[in-house]
Amino acid sequence: MKKNNAYIGVDIGGTNLRASLVDGKGGILKSLRTPVRIDLGPDRAFEKLLAQCRELVEAAGEFGLKAGGVGLGVAGKIDPAAGTVVFSPNLPALNGFPLGRELGEKLGIPVVMENDANAFGLGESWAGAARDLDNWVGITLGTGTGGCLFLGGKLWEGAGLGFCAEIGHMIILPDGPPCGCGSRGCLESFASASALMRGAREICPAGGSYADVLRGLTERNELSAASIYSAARSGDAASKKLFETMGWALGIGLSNIFSLLGIDRAVIGGGVSSAWDAFIGPLRASLEKSASMFDAQRAVVVRGSLGDDAAQIGAARLAESSVG
Amino acid sequence: MKKNNAYIGVDIGGTNLRASLVDGKGGILKSLRTPVRIDLGPDRAFEKLLAQCRELVEAAGEFGLKAGGVGLGVAGKIDPAAGTVVFSPNLPALNGFPLGRELGEKLGIPVVMENDANAFGLGESWAGAARDLDNWVGITLGTGTGGCLFLGGKLWEGAGLGFCAEIGHMIILPDGPPCGCGSRGCLESFASASALMRGAREICPAGGSYADVLRGLTERNELSAASIYSAARSGDAASKKLFETMGWALGIGLSNIFSLLGIDRAVIGGGVSSAWDAFIGPLRASLEKSASMFDAQRAVVVRGSLGDDAAQIGAARLAESSVG
Q: What is the pLDDT of residue B1?
A: 46
Distance CA A147, CA A137 (A): 7
Shortest Cα distance from B27 to chain A (angstroms)?
29
Contact between chains at A166 and B259 (C-beta distance less than 8 A): yes
Level-2 CATH architecture, domain A2-124+309-323: 2-Layer Sandwich (3.30)
DSSP string, A219-247: HTT---HHHHHHHHHTT-HHHHHHHHHHH
Shortest Cα distance from B65 to chain A (angstroms)?
38
* Residue A296 three-state SS: coil
Contact between chains at A256 and B256 (C-beta distance less than 8 A): yes
Choose among B158, B172, B252: nearest Cβ to A261: B158
Contact between chains at B262 and A165 (C-beta distance less than 8 A): yes
Residue B259 near residue A170, CB atoms below 8 Å: yes
Choose among B161, B262, B263: nearest Cβ to A294: B161
Contact between chains at A294 and B165 (C-beta distance less than 8 A): no
- Chain A hits for B252, CB-CB cut-off 8 Å, are 171, 174
Rounded to an integer, what is the distance from CA A277 to the centroid of its chain?
Answer: 19
Of the CA atoms within 13 Å of residue B6, those in its CB half-sphere come to: 25
Which CATH entry fits the domain spanning B132-305: 3.40.640.10, 3.40.50.1400, 3.30.420.40, 3.40.30.10? 3.30.420.40
Helix or strand holding residue B225 (H, E): helix B225-233
Write phi, then psi, for A57 (nearest 5 degrees).
-60, -45
Averaged pLDDT score across all residues of chain A: 93
Choose among A135, A169, A264: nearest Cβ to B259: A169
Residue of B nearest to A153 (CA): B159
Q: What is the pLDDT of residue A1?
A: 46
Residue ranges per structural domain of chain A? 2-124+309-323, 132-305
Residue A76 near residue A89, CB atoms below 8 Å: yes
Rounded to an integer, what is the distance from CA B35 to the centroid of its chain?
Answer: 17
pLDDT profile of chain B (324 residues), mean per 10: 79 92 96 92 93 97 96 89 82 86 95 95 98 98 95 96 94 95 95 94 71 82 91 92 97 98 98 97 98 94 97 97 82
Distance CA A43, CA A97 (A): 9
Distance CA B157, CA B162 (A): 9
Shortest Cα distance from B6 to chain A (angstroms)?
32
- In this prediction, the answer to ipTM > 0.85 reads yes
Q: Please count the other Cβ atoms lying within 10 Å of the Cβ belonging to residue A142.
A: 25
- Chain B hits for A160, CB-CB cut-off 8 Å, are 262
Contact between chains at A156 and B293 (C-beta distance less than 8 A): no
Shortest Cα distance from A56 to chain B (angstroms)?
35
Contact between chains at B169 and A257 (C-beta distance less than 8 A): no
Q: What is the pLDDT of residue B3?
A: 54
CATH topology match: B2-124+309-323 vs B132-305: yes
Q: What is the pLDDT of residue B219?
A: 84
Interface with B, mutate which of A148, A156, A250, A256 (most B CBs under 10 A): A256
Contacts of A13 (CB under 8 A, 6+ apart): A36, A75, A90, A116, A142
Shortest Cα distance from A135 to chain B (angstroms)?
6
Contact between chains at A161 and B264 (C-beta distance less than 8 A): yes
Burial class for A62, CB neighbours closer than 10 Å (0-12, 13-18, 19+): exposed
Distance CA A300, CA B316 (A): 37
Contact between chains at B262 and A167 (C-beta distance less than 8 A): no
- Chain B hits for A297, CB-CB cut-off 8 Å, are none
Q: What is the pLDDT of residue A205?
A: 62
Shortest Cα distance from B162 to chain A (angstroms)?
8
- Chain A hits for B294, CB-CB cut-off 8 Å, are 161, 163
Residue of A nearest to B171 (CA): A256
- CA of B117: how far to CAs of B54, B74, B287, B304, in Å? 25, 9, 22, 12
Distance CA B305, CA B120 (A): 11
Write phi, then psi, for A129 (nearest 5 degrees).
-70, -15
* Residue B176 three-state SS: coil
Distance CA B86, CA B83 (A): 9
Contacts across the A-B interface (CB distance below 8 Å): 130
Ordered per-residue pLDDT tens for chain A, 324 residues: 455 699 999 999 888 999 999 999 999 999 999 998 888 988 999 999 999 999 999 999 999 999 999 999 998 888 888 888 888 877 888 888 889 999 999 999 999 999 999 999 999 999 999 999 999 999 999 989 999 999 999 999 999 998 899 999 999 999 999 998 899 999 999 999 999 999 998 876 666 667 788 888 888 888 899 999 999 999 999 999 999 999 999 999 999 999 999 999 999 999 999 999 999 999 999 999 999 989 999 999 999 999 999 999 999 999 999 886
* Residue A312 three-state SS: helix
This prediction has a pTM of 0.95
Contact between chains at B161 and A264 (C-beta distance less than 8 A): yes
Contact between chains at B173 and A174 (C-beta distance less than 8 A): yes
Contact between chains at A167 and B264 (C-beta distance less than 8 A): no
Pairing verdict, β A300-303 and A265-269 = parallel
- CA of A308: how far to CAs of A17, A37, A119, A272, A305, in Å? 12, 19, 12, 11, 9
Contact between chains at A256 and B261 (C-beta distance less than 8 A): no
Q: What is the pLDDT of residue B102?
A: 93
Rounded to an integer, what is the distance from CA B103 to the centroid of its chain?
Answer: 23
What is the longest distance spanned by two Cα atoms in chain A?
Answer: 65
Distance CA B315, CA B8 (A): 8
Q: What is the 3-state secondary structure (H, E, C) of A139-178?
A: EEECCCEEEEEEECCEECCCCCCCCCCCHHHCECCCCCCE
- Chain A hits for B156, CB-CB cut-off 8 Å, are 151, 261-262
Dihedral angle computed from the Cα positions of residues B244, B248, B251 and B254, in that order, rounded to the nearest 10 degrees? -110
Residue A100 near residue A46, CB atoms below 8 Å: no
Choose among B134, B156, B290: nearest Cβ to A171: B290
Those residues of chain B whose CB sits closer than 8 Å to some CB in chain A are 134-135, 147, 149, 151, 156-161, 163-167, 169-174, 179, 181-183, 186, 252, 255-257, 259-265, 289-294
Helix spans in chain A (H): 42-62, 99-107, 116-127, 193-203, 209-219, 225-233, 237-261, 276-290, 310-323
- CA of B146: how far to CAs of A229, A260, B129, B180, in Å? 41, 11, 17, 13
Write phi, then psi, for A34 (nearest 5 degrees).
-150, 150
Shortest Cα distance from A161 to chain B (angstroms)?
7
